[in-house]
Amino acid sequence: MFAIIELGGKQYKVKEKDILRVEKLAATEGKTVKIEKVLLKVDDKTTQIGTPFLAGAYAEIKVLKAGLGDKVRTFKMKAKKRYKRLKGHRQPFSEIEIVKI
Report the C-alpha gap between 50 and 83 in whole angstroms.
52
Single-letter amino acid, residue 11: Q
pLDDT in tens, 15-36: 999 999 999 988 888 889 998 9
pTM confidence score: 0.78
Residue 26: how many other CB atoms lie within 10 Å? 9
Report the C-alpha gap between 76 and 14 in whole angstroms.
39
Residue 63 C-alpha from the chain's centroid: 11
pLDDT for residue 92: 95
